Structure 1
Amino acid sequence: MNNNKNPSQKLSVWSYFVPPPPPLLEQPWREVSVEYQSNLEFVRSYQPENGQVQHLRILLYGPVGHGKSSFINSVDTVLKGRPSVLVQTNAIFGNSFSTQYKTFKFLKSPGATYSFVFNDIMGLEEDFDDGVSVNDLKLALRGHVREDYTFNPEQELKEGDDGYNSDPTLEDKVHVLVGVVAADAVSRLPDQMVKKIRKVRLAASALRIPQMAIITRVDEACPEVKKDTSNIYKSNYLKEKVERFHQLLGIPENCIFLLKNYSHEIESNDKVNAAIVCALKQMLHYGDDYLNNL
């Protein structure tokens, strides 16, 4: 009896084995750390080139609970150099914790604020009659939603309502639109959610408003990043998430940024800050381009 196995059989078995890609790349595919201090200096000294506005307006939108409000708090933490809670957030998933249209300014010194603002908005939800409506988001883009307006999923805002701004200025309009999605949810966004996001994107494109996206909770999605936040742009897994998000919604990959929001930290951390400031700097550049090209 011949117990020797055919060598060709061994080769055929091993030919099907493809080693998994390494969890981390040797070099980051986007550099953020070395530019951190210069990026932060740019953000701190930023002024809109267009003299018609005092503040560049950035609107955050996305599914409920993916980190819109936490990102605003994270930006404030970076600017203050210590943990900050500018926006109340909810650690328990459910309906949107943000229900009003709010403008958030960042204190630079007593009586002075930075020259950019964020608008938080009620989150998108899968069901048609839940969360902020796509039409209300379109109105916000054009500056038609008044400060403190409370969104009602069952009744869209319309002209003549108390919350409707019939004569928006350039300052009221959105200058940059930023989608916010959690890294661990990119591959499982429901079809209805994707359709809603696409409708918002089309409306912004028609208005020539620049668009970006930030992918949050990277530390929860990738163990290597949880160990060391500076590994964000070395992670193969997170790179795949950026590519997937690009394919899903058509946002160019160089307009999609990875970051970790502050959550449990009690001290400011330059490794966390670097990715946040990198994304923020690009928002300001895109907004300035929009204002200058009007």
Structure 2
Amino acid sequence: MKLIVGLLLAALTFAGVRASACSSMGLILAQPAPYFQTGGTMKDTFNVTVFGNTTQGTCNYFLTFDYGSSNSYTNRSVKKGSDVWPYQISADNAGLQILKKFPDVNSCSDVICDKLQGSTFYNTKTSSYTVAFDTANDWRSAGTYLDTVTVRLYQGNISNYTLVASQAFLLTFGSPKKADLSVVSSGGAFDLSKTTHTINFGNNLTTGAQGTADVIVKYNSGYNLYAWSDNGGKLKQVNGTDTIDYTFKINGTTYAIPWWTQIATQTGTSPASGLVNPVTIIIGNTSGKAQGSYSDTINLTIQSSQ
């Protein structure tokens, strides 16, 4: 009876030695505080190094990435109060292998799987992961967005594992204040390259004639729009001295623009496609005016307002 007990104890001791094949494991994040910004870096790849004592032999491991302050890998986002900016973490640069945490882990396609092998006191293995921010709409609210992501190191495989270490990194995303405008034909789409537009009345420069255009603005911290006319709010005869009055309307409101005048304002952020401000020009009395070409230039300036 004593001999049987002794054999059982010996077997348990031997199993304990085999289980400690890899010891003193840990991880190092090459970049614990990456910074991203609109107009700058929106996507980058970083390294994570796993280390351990492999004098007892090879050991398998895997790394999970949590969702920060979000409740799912599908809606990862940095946050600024109630404002959010989506991002994603993947094992590949193309963003196809999304990195997850339990209980969403089903296979090595959901995590970074690897192994430490070789009989050495201090062994390391480096893997990479990519953080990419959404670029579909870079006109979200201006400011600094934050999120903290925890990386966990598990020894073993997906079906049999032990948590051995974890480390967090801080994601910071900056969205500087900005405002842009585009002047296009009525019904046109925002185009940053289109900052000038001609309303051509042709031979129809008669009293009451109307011409239209759209001023489309994009902004992430409110905006103020200003206008002023080169000729004091009048059409001036080319190669002559006659002038013709006209009415300037934007969003249905009439403004006199002989000098710098605020003609539109808004707080918050614009739609991704921009906020449309319809413009109408109505020609005044042309009776008794000399024949010829008349013109004026209306200058527009946009500024952030918040």
TM above 0.5, one fold? no
Report 1 or 2 for greater relative contact order, CA contacts < 8 Å, sequence distance ≥ 6.
Answer: 1
The two structures have a TM-score, normalised by structure 2, of 0.18
Greater share of strand:
2
- What is the TM-score normalised by the length of structure 1? 0.19
Which one has a larger percent helix, Structure 1 or Structure 2? Answer: 1
